[in-house]
Amino acid sequence: MKPVIFGLAGPVLTPDERAFFAAAAPAGYILFKRNIEDRAQLRALTDSLRALAGRDDLPILIDQEGGRVARMGPPHWPAFPAGPAFAALYEVAPMSAIQAMRTNGEALGLMLAEVGITVDCAPLLDVAQSDTTEAIACRAYGSAPMPVAALGRAMLEGLAAAGIVGVVKHMPGHGRARVDSHHLLPTVTASADELEIDLEPFRTLADAPMGMTSHIVFEAWDRERPATLSPVVIEQVIRGAIGFDGLLMTDDIDMKALSGSAGDKAAASIAAGCDLVLDCWARMDEMVAIADRLPEITDAARRRLDRAMASVTPGQGDFAELIARRDAFLALV
């Protein structure tokens, strides 16, 4: 098994993808809007991925946070609210906000499980600042560690109740970035003491099954390399100061914050200590280059992967009832 999660080009596996994936044996896959038409098509696609891999516990990922980050949406699926809606409720009724987020996560998870998706890249644990880039601010769960952690745990618990594995992101924190790492490399100049605020939600949820790195340079820890490529940040901060021992994947290595070839970036992230590489865009030449450069998954990474995928069981909640309960809580604001 190669320590990589690949994207797909379209709504069905192409013959070239089928042959390549069978040979490369990636750890999992991630889906985007280009892969999604309706329920029947999406279930057929995820079933085909499981059949190709021969693994019922195959990680099939999606970014389905709510708000602007939603790959599944109307008319086939309802829209879900983004993090700030729950943060606003937390300001006036913390326990109601936590219950709202938990029911929201369970409903969202049931929607994913129905079509064979097994992992959601949520919750986002970045603590927002006054100058946080809009790419994060419009999704954040708040501007203080306690509500971010509380709402993040509620989302993880809701997803797990529906049989979906959650991914905490973007470790060790994206809240101080003033530019969007999809386009530019952010540099954070805050001191290690100041960054304790950013670490706190991740430390509180250090038992999460999966986590995702950030493509950010933190001068307090490593002036030369972004977190994804930094052994210092991964070993001393994510594994050390935070205490995270779950499966650690990169954010998408195609994001412009990282420079170099796809193969170079993939190899460097694994060498730095990431368990898996996330490569989203299904460019065959780049996927081949990545597979050629990567070693087999390490025993430690495979144990973390297996443990994460075994951490949830299929849920049996009532989707409509969960949505109604969530909306009744959110109406309190």
Residue-by-residue pLDDT tens, the chain, 333 positions:
999 999 999 999 999 999 999 999 999 999 999 999 999 999 999 999 999 999 999 999 999 999 999 999 999 999 999 999 999 999 999 999 999 999 999 999 999 999 999 999 999 999 999 999 999 999 999 999 999 999 999 999 999 999 999 999 999 999 999 888 898 999 999 999 999 999 999 999 999 999 999 999 999 999 999 999 999 999 999 999 999 999 999 999 999 889 999 999 999 999 999 999 999 999 999 999 999 999 999 999 999 999 999 999 988 899 999 999 999 999 998
Contact status, residue 190 vs residue 176, Cβ threshold 8 Å: yes
Quote the tokens at residue 142.
């708040």
- d(C-alpha 213, C-alpha 252), whole Å: 9
Cβ of 320: how many Cβ atoms within 10 Å? 10
Residue 255 three-state SS: coil
H helix or E strand, kind and range, residue 202? helix 196-204
Residue 165 three-state SS: strand
Cβ of 204: how many Cβ atoms within 10 Å? 19
The DSSP letter of residue 229 is G
76 classed as catalytic: no
- d(C-alpha 103, C-alpha 115), whole Å: 19
Quote the tokens at residue 269.
């992230």
Query: What pLDDT is recorded for position 179?
Result: 87
Antiparallel, parallel or unpaired: β 165-171 and 64-66: unpaired
Is the link from the previous residue into 123 a cis peptide, with omega within 30 of 0?
yes
Query: What pLDDT is recorded for position 185?
Result: 92
Query: What pLDDT is recorded for position 38?
Result: 97
Strands (E), 253-317: 276-279
Is the link from the previous residue into 172 a cis peptide, with omega within 30 of 0?
yes
Contact status, residue 46 vs residue 116, Cβ threshold 8 Å: yes
pTM of the model: 0.96
- d(C-alpha 214, C-alpha 157), whole Å: 23
Query: What pLDDT is recorded for position 235?
Result: 98
Query: What pLDDT is recorded for position 257?
Result: 86
- d(C-alpha 226, C-alpha 28), whole Å: 24
Q: Which of the residues 57, 76, 182, 264 is marked catalytic?
A: 182
Q: Which of the residues 251, 252, 275, 279 is marked catalytic?
A: 251
Question: Position of tokens 């996927």?
Answer: 287
Quote the tokens at residue 92.
């006036």
- The type of residue at 12 is V
Task: Compute the C-alpha angle 25/26/31, nearest 5°.
Answer: 130
Number of H helices, E strands in the chain: 12, 12
- d(C-alpha 91, C-alpha 170), whole Å: 23
Query: What pLDDT is recorded for position 72?
Result: 98
Contact status, residue 118 vs residue 109, Cβ threshold 8 Å: no
Residue 124 phi/psi, 5-degree rounding, is -90, 120
